[in-house]
Structure 1
């Protein structure tokens, strides 16, 4: 195995030779083989071990084993402990997902703070097959069937071409010491069920199963490349990006018989999962919305509009005086009446005597009304939005400037008649809004 591994490194990862590497080391068979191989290749590396505290004394034994190995081989070793169960409960994650998040977050912290170049893990060919079957059992797109990448940013997986059997043989040939994880024997986890009961059947049917499987993955990756090209081509034709949102032209989209596949490819990375609901948006009434954790997909007339949920750091802002600089792109200044020029939606001029401080900046709400500048009588803000053909996204993003519970300005859109300057105005306040700073 060493010769094959050495050739694999020279062919595909020669750039690692002079890099500073952080090797993820559990103390198990796979990671200890990786460490031994890197020692033989004389790479510059340190060990990184996570104690997830899931197996009590056994977890502590793994930690001590890795630390002792590092000490006896004069290798730098980084170790951390996690309260994995607490983290999984707080974040409503499975134990395995929680452990993965904790592990990679910490690896990246060490990478950054200690100036390492890459994180190296010991994933191998059997892991790839197991992951494929896990994704297949849960339902996935083509992305979920194309395997674990050998490199993903700063994460390197140099053992992917090698099987668990080859790793076991290497351990025996080199008399390596390693720690057995007792949880690997349990069928509690889906991966273990697949490892113990499904993969062995495929290997029995085809003794070259892993090699055949890798060939299949190569074909799938080539087909994925073709899909990516088609997805990008159609995207450029019918999707536009404006002000932080995506607009999908529905009439252009439905010209493609397989439009659902395009929607999936464009939207899955935004965390959506209710795909049948998303596909139904095509024929839904305007205003229908689908939510992911951080995004909203809106049906708005002839478009599907994707935008990020607003994570406001405030519900409202109070401005106590004209000299105050609010935490909002709004600027109040005094000016002469002769300087007034009101041709921009981003600027209004008001009579200071008609304002009552403090002023409030807030989001609009149902029931709001104002007296639109240049018109007689009052109008509901919701009716103004309808007349101006605001999208739900635009409504969601609209702010109100208020004085003594009266709307002064639908910011960036329409001023209120009640606060306008007149011939008798003694002091004029200019209020300017810089939308680009939002």
Structure 2
């Protein structure tokens, strides 16, 4: 159903933002509506060429009587295209009342909570959502009308952590045209036409008026969003970090202003109580964090405060058994078991451990009480080593713990067991080797 107009744009978007990789397991947020059906076909186009594994998730918000028909449609669609599916429920009205937030916000929070629960339980690599260009413009206008700093107008990101939005550059009317011309079935959500929701007012009342003034208003606003995003990229490091040494020199008024400026850039509601909690955090000991809402946390690490997207990291599997000839990923690490020749300079790009032929190699996250043997020191707690190395708390559980025959042999590329022989003869061709390196290291030729 996809022609070159679509596939060419998709390929460019996927390449530009690195949205999909070979053998990715992708969870598609699937309501049965036109956006999610179009999204599925866009990703399904690459299913064979990239050896993708696709799965669908439908979340019943308990707001519509026709939800049962939606579930039936999702099941039939999944069976037709031979993909696994998940049906989940979330009581949006109860969540909104309990948290004293709008139903729109409660729906978003519950959806993403469910997405990431499924992701963690089933070793999903990416979560794909069907946000389109109209959704991006709605978000821009919504934030503009509500009032926000310049960076609050940056729109919806194409990629954030494990979340990808491949069809963000496609207009809604184009999506509908493609589906209708090909006879592809989809479901319509009746609540999309109820103007009691703010975004529906923007979509159903404001958009038509904008269209009368300029039919290309979406493209014009999209260009503005891109300019704002470019500005954000240039100032990203400055905006996301506050140094504690600087904050402690400021009087309380200026300190509060800097904190307010930082967190308000992320479309987060700022209250006096939140500012007070952050002020206490500045003078506290150790690494700590505060939930800011809207899927963000403020993280205190040694000498800085940093705003972090809560679900920024792709969940790791419980454990991984390494096999010869396969490059395995673990967080920010690449692990390879091979007997190939390793060129000079490889030591700067990672660590090389020589193995016995019968060695069983397991990779896992660290556990409480883990120890590793170090020469002249004996066994030392891995937690203490990571603290001494000033590894951030949120990073520690993402460093691979490598076991050789049930004994801890390495903490990523940070420490290697003193029981292992790390020979300088890295040109050794006969012996099996484990190569541990970071993803951002220059690839070996």
From 28, 31, 36, give the equivalent of 2:36.
Answer: 31
Secondary structure of 2:279 counterpart: strand
Alignment of 1:256-335 (within 5 A): 262-268=258-264, 273-274=270-271, 290-292=272-274, 295-297=277-279
Contact 1:240 1:248 in 2 (8 A): yes
Alignment of 1:393-408 (within 5 A): none
Q: 1:45 aligned to 2:54?
A: yes
How big is the shift at 1:178? 0.6
Mapped partners of 1:213, 1:146: distance in 2: 11
1:249 paired residue number:
250
Mapped partners of 1:250, 1:166: distance in 2: 54
Mapped partners of 2:187, 2:198: distance in 1: 22
How big is the shift at 1:231? 4.6
TM-score by length of 1: 0.57
From 64, 88, 98, give the equivalent of 1:55.
Answer: 64
Contact 2:134 2:172 in 1 (8 A): yes
* Structure with bigger gyration radius: 1
- Alpha-carbon deviations, 1:269-323, whole Å to 9, x = none? 796624xxxxxxxxxxxxxxx412982537xxxxx96898999xxxxxxxxxxxx
Contact 1:142 1:224 in 2 (8 A): no
Alignment of 1:6-405 (within 5 A): 6-13=11-18, 15-42=20-47, 43-56=52-65, 58-228=66-236, 231=239, 235-236=242-243, 239-240=244-245, 247=248, 249-250=250-251, 262-268=258-264, 273-274=270-271, 290-292=272-274, 295-297=277-279
Mapped partners of 1:310, 1:72: distance in 2: 45
1:349 paired residue number:
none
Q: Which moved more, 1:172-181 or 1:38-47?
A: 38-47
How big is the shift at 1:118? 0.6
Mapped partners of 2:106, 2:237: distance in 1: 34
How big is the shift at 1:260? 8.2
Q: Which has the higher contact order (CA 8 A, sep 6+)?
A: 2
- Alpha-carbon deviations, 1:227-273, whole Å to 9, x = none? 4455579x45xx428xxxx635139x96xxxx987443334479662
What is the alpha-carbon root mean square deviation over aligned residues? 3.2
Mapped partners of 1:189, 1:181: distance in 2: 13
1:280 paired residue number:
none
Mapped partners of 2:226, 2:289: distance in 1: 38
Q: Which moved more, 1:175-184 or 1:75-84?
A: 75-84
Q: Which moved more, 1:165-174 or 1:128-137?
A: 165-174
Gap change, CA 1:296 and 1:231, over 3 Å in 2: closer
Secondary structure of 1:140 counterpart: coil
Secondary structure of 1:297 counterpart: helix
Gap change, CA 1:272 and 1:200, over 3 Å in 2: closer
Q: Which moved more, 1:214-223 or 1:161-170?
A: 214-223
Contact 2:130 2:165 in 1 (8 A): yes
TM-score by length of 2: 0.56
Gaps of 5+ in 1: 275-289, 299-303, 312-438
How big is the shift at 1:127? 0.3
How big is the shift at 1:202? 2.2
Gap change, CA 1:310 and 1:49, over 3 Å in 2: closer
Gaps of 5+ in 2: 292-445
Gap change, CA 1:175 and 1:49, over 3 Å in 2: same
Q: How many residues align?
A: 279
- Alpha-carbon deviations, 1:151-173, whole Å to 9, x = none? 11110011111111110111122
Mapped partners of 2:167, 2:290: distance in 1: 43
Gap change, CA 1:25 and 1:248, over 3 Å in 2: farther
Q: Which has the larger helix fraction?
A: 1
Gap change, CA 1:86 and 1:229, over 3 Å in 2: closer
How big is the shift at 1:29? 0.7
How big is the shift at 1:105? 0.6
Secondary structure of 1:110 counterpart: helix
